[in-house]
Structure formats: C-alpha cells, structure tokens
Chains A and B, each alone.
Chain A
Amino acid sequence: MAPKNKNPNGENVVPEVQQKKTQALILKSSDGEEFSISKSAAGLSVAIKNMMEDDCAGGVIPLPLVDGGTLARVITYLNKHAEDGASDEDKRKFDEEFLSGMEVDVLCDVALAGNYLDIRGLFHDVCQRIVNGMKNKSVEWVRKTFRIESDFTAEEEEQIKKEYAWAWEGVDSDAD
C-alpha cells in the first residue's frame, strides 16, 4: 500500500490549484537522481498528489523506494498520460510500446513503483503484461522467464505437481 504522507502537524494544506499545472516539481530517486516533472503529470500518481497536497516536501519529493532508472520510466509514462493533446488511442499505443521493450526485472521494478506511487493504470498494465507472459506456459518456462528460483525440495515439487496434475495439458511447448 502507498504510504499516505501526513503533514507533521496534521494540518490539511489546500493545494494551489491554479498554479498546479505549469509548476514543476522535483522527484528525487533512491540513488539521488533528481527529475523535474510538471505538477499535472505528477498528480496522476495518487501518492505524489497526496504528498503535494500535504506540501511536506517543499518542492522536492524524495522517493526512497524508486531507483533512478525506474523513476525515469515512470516519468515518461506520466508525461505521456498528462499530455494535453494525447487521445486515448495515442496513450494506448504508447502504453503498448512502453511496456513491450521491458525485461522482466524492469517490469517488476515498474510494477513496484506503480504500486508504491499508486498509479493504477500503470500498475494494472504491468501486471497484465506479466500475466500474459505466463499464460499457457510450462512451470519451467515461467521459472526461467521470470527468474523464479524454485525453493521446493524434490519431494515437495513432486507433491505439488501432483496436486495440480489436471493443469498440465495444453501448455505451449517450451521451444518458442
């Protein structure tokens, strides 16, 4: 769950709505990189929006759980989705391309960031992308692709495979 940053004094600070759009904001990644982003784009993240509203950061928002590379990707996504002229179709196309080039590790990092920053659309798309990669695949294929290490003993593995024996037909061959 995304942490809801509270004003230390527990006060509700009213956001300056009129200036929000043009104003820039600095996001600081875990490894110290700083990124500038418009408030309108940053506001697509519910977590950042809450932080802005609480105004706890004074213009620089530290994101200790997101590294620079991942943050750069997330910001690319947010900028596209905040673009004035972009149609839904444009965004959909962008999302597809945006995710299609990503390695599994990157996808996982983006999923984590999407969840942490509470960007529902991004989080959903990434999860769906991961899920699509698992469909109709064998256990070994899923392990290899998603770099999951089996922590079963041989007996446990045999036991669990027996439990799900009904599912083993119709999976794609590992070759593709």
Chain B
Amino acid sequence: MASLSSDLCYDILKRLDGATLASAACTCAAFCSISREERLWENVCCSMWPSTNRDDVKNLISSLGGFKKFYADCFPLIVNKEVPEFHWKDYYEYPQEWTEAEYYGDEDEAESISPSDFVSIVDIRYKDKTICSRVLWGIPNANGFNGWFYNCPFRVDLLAYSAINDDQADEVTVSLSDGLPPIWSMERRGKMERSGKSCAMASGLAGFLLTKKQRKLLIFPVGALLEDKDIGPENDFLLRFGSVLPAKDILPCQVVECILIMKFRVARIEDEDTHTTLKLTELSMQLGDMEGSHVNGRNSLLVLREALSCPRSKNYSEASSRANCTQKFRASSRRRR
C-alpha cells in the first residue's frame, strides 16, 4: 500500500462506506489526512441519504460542522451489540469552532425554541433503492393563532408539505421493478405482511430534527419497527418506526415515542394479480406517550429540546427492547379499556 500515491489512495478511499473510511483513517497518517477531505464524507452521506445532496441541506450541514461530523452523528444503530452509551456532549472534535456559550446553548435561547427551528430530513429506501426523499423546513401550520400548534397533537406531515425537487414524482410508489415480490390475491394478506416487514428492514431511513439556533442536531435513525399491520380497507397497511425519548419532568409517563408512520395502499394490481404497486399515502412523524395518546405541540417541543442534550444510545437492542416494552404496555392498556 505504501507504493500508492495519495491520488490513488483517494481513489480507493472514495469507494468506502463511512465506517470503513473511519477505520482506514486510523491505520496510518497518509490515510488519516486524506480522510479529512470533506468531499469523501459528502459522498458517503449522499449515497446513504440522497436528501443530503440537496443544496439547502448541504448548506445546513456545512454550517453545522460539515459532512464528517454529520455522518458521525447519524451513524445508525447497531444490532445486538453492547456499546457504551454515547453522550451528546462528548463531541469534542470541533470545540475550537464554538465558544462555550454557543456550545452549551444559551439558556434563554433554548427556552424560546420554536417550530421554525426544526428541519426534517427523511430518506426511505426499499432494497437499496431510494423510493422517497423528503425535506421539510419548520413545522407546517405551526404559526396558527391562539397557540393552536401548542395545544394540538404534534404531527409533521412529510408527504403533504415537504418541498420536492422537480425531478421527483408526486407519487411515491413501490412496484415490481423496485423489487417488490409478486403478490397473489389468495395469499395477499400474508405476503403483504412479509413484504411490509422486508420493507421495514430494508429501509435505511433517517429522520432528522435539529435546531438551527443551538447548532445541534437531533437525529432519529430508523429506530425499531413498532408495528406492521393491516388497517381499514383490506388494501392498506401501516408501518410504524420509533425511537424512545425521555420525557422526565415533562409528562407523567416519563418516556415518549417519536414515531415515524408510513401508510401504504395497494394502488394497482395487474397481470393476473401478481404485479402489485404500493403507493405511499402517508409519511408523518408524531410523538406519542406510552398509551399511544398524542403529545401536544408544546410538550413535544419540550421533549425534543430535552432530547438534544440527553445521553444517546447507539445500542439497537436496547432501543428495540425499550420499544417492545412500550408496545407490550400499550397492548395491555388497550385490553384493559
């Protein structure tokens, strides 16, 4: 390897995914200095989350410390690994860029966190193919009068309000050409469940929220699949992904789920029922408490603000076991009703 020029090393490193790039960077000084190249990390981010290729998102990421930091912050949860807890304030890599007041956030500023401070960036993948990318600045309809937003259930509708690029279709569909397995009407239900599951597992989806003022990112990786069920008319089904956030001192239930909801409808069935197209009919994010009730806007903002400074775990098994607990709790509380 020593014989390779730095141009050649760059050519090799630019083909690496983020984690491998990080480990290559630690092998020697030459790789280390090449891997500081922002362009490499921009590549890594864009191939993972196509939304990050948009100019507005790029500018945002640059203003927050660059793609390298962004990727490190977004690194997905790991399945079944015991990992030490990751603390938000442990990021000392770029301390020189922030004054202490900026770094820890001005208390007054933090108090006045507003819906316009949020950005949601979501990419949904099905079997390595991005089927939907949405970016939404702020929270729609949050500026209604009389505190409408603060008292209503918190919900960010990504499908209806997000700005989309011109080259994107209005409709988001998954069909045979995207690798959706053929579904026969006789066994539709079972198949649908399975394809729903594989959709969930394969979606490298990232939801982000951040506050511009505090220059901090709050990132929700996919989280665990909470629910996968048929709803309403036979042809609809619903997927819910969630991360559990602490809500101590805010809500009596202590924890809140941040849930990403995807609803699909079977849009077309052709060729003797085997060529099915699924259409995404809802993509939204909301917060729910342990019993599945909505959390209002005011409390949601408090929870999200809290989440900015809370310890973050990258432990997938912990995240999913907590989600399962929530799930069981919800199921039992429903039975009681």
- A-side residues, CB < 8 A to B, are 1, 104, 108-109, 111-112, 115, 123, 127-128, 130-131, 134-139, 142-143, 146-152, 156-157, 160-161, 163-164, 166-171
Contact = CB atoms under 8 A, between A and B. Distances in A.
Contact of B93 (A1, A138, A163): A163
Contacts of B31: 148
Given A139-B26, A151-B28, A151-B29, A134 B93 contact: no
B29 to A, nearest CB: 5
Contacts of B23: 134, 137-139, 142, 164, 167-168, 171
Contacts, number: 97
Interface string B44-74: 0000000000000000000000000000100
Nearest to A144: B27
Closest 7 CB pairs of A and B: A167-B22, A164-B22, A131-B15, A139-B26, A146-B1, A167-B19, A169-B78
Tell me which of A123, A166, A171 has the highest count of chain B C-beta atoms within 10 A of its own C-beta. A166
B32 to A, nearest CB: 6
Contacts of B22: 164, 166-167
B20 A135 contact: yes
A127 to B, nearest CB: 5
A149 B93 contact: no
Given A127-B11, A127-B12, A134 B24 contact: yes
Contacts of A108: 1, 3-4
B21 to A, nearest CB: 8
Contacts of A147: 1-2
B15 A166 contact: no
Task: State the majority secondary structure of interface residues on A.
Answer: helix
26 contacts: A111-B12, A112-B4, A127-B11, A130-B12, A134-B20, A134-B23, A134-B24, A143-B28, A147-B1, A147-B2, A148-B2, A148-B28, A148-B31, A149-B28, A150-B27, A151-B29, A151-B30, A152-B29, A160-B25, A160-B32, A164-B26, A167-B72, A168-B23, A169-B81, A170-B81, A171-B19
Contact of A170 (B1, B24, B29, B78): B78
B16 A131 contact: yes
B1 A167 contact: no
Given A111-B8, A169-B83, A161 B26 contact: yes
B233 to A, nearest CB: 41
Contacts of B240: none
A160 B26 contact: yes
B25 A128 contact: no
Contact of A134 (B4, B16, B75, B86): B16
Nearest to A157: B26
A136 B1 contact: no
A128 B12 CA distance: 7
Contacts of A128: 15
A125 to B, nearest CB: 11
A137 B29 CA distance: 18
Contacts of B125: none
Interface string B66-99: 0000001001001101010010000001000000
Tell me which of B1, B29, B31, B78 has the highest count of chain A C-beta atoms within 10 A of its own C-beta. B1
